[in-house]
Structure 1
């Protein structure tokens, strides 16, 4: 097991996240090569870096440490996240510097109910592919890819706030790659 830091993203400030905490990406040590999200409901989602599939463990109970070095700060913020049945219930300032990782392989994970449009994910690896997906989504007001990053791109390109509903607008642009930002800009210039 390698304990390398991976990202943990709070998709919106939750009741368990106190207002003074920075909203930038947090780091967490884990035994898997995935990113993690805590949704506004407190649900911890494990997201596969390769294909974007989302996983949820309704039995994950325990705690792990997250850390962040905010911009304009010299001290690292260190907090412990306590989980009960897959939901983050409390986040407290960590009392010791020892890291406690998310041991994901200890728990069963089920595919989250969100479907992923694999074709859109494959297309959106290029500027032209992003424009094709935006064009496709323009004709279908209820279209979602199931990928948070691509849905944010579509929400900004087509001015559809419901596609940004689980993302703090302040962080939506930070999720996107340069070519996705150029696709949004190109789409707005063309229309």
Structure 2
């Protein structure tokens, strides 16, 4: 990843904001340069949301916009939408890398392989979030995109409201170790 320009776009809640910040730090630690815009970047990460159909639509629009502004960019999606969409849908949108919740920390390595030409046509890292009780593996040393750092103390939900998809894409509640 050394010297490659990576654009990170975050859609959705504060959990996603935290994950976007943490991924920015992880890519910077891997030697990537964090781009100010998707134009002519080498790679792009979309930290996605799927809480409503409007959120899904915004994710699809963001992917198309990134592709339009940087045809050569390797696009990776993570977050709720990535956990929820099918392999076929991702491929139809030109997304070669999808990392569902709890697998976001793998993105710098996956994108590094993809930039090196080692990636298959699609790499998918998903976890059965309903059966998992692990933390996502991301850590935030200092904020890149905001003036204040986010503190993510818990992820997931146990309520399973009839109208809500969050427990199915974020999993059951998991608290960060103290």
Band the TM-score falls in, shorter-chain normalisation: under 0.3
Point out the structure with the larger helix share.
2
Name the structure, 1 or 2, with higher relative contact order (CA <8 Å, separation 6+). 2
Point out the structure with the larger strand share.
1
TM-score, normalised with respect to structure 1: 0.26
TM-score, normalised with respect to structure 2: 0.27
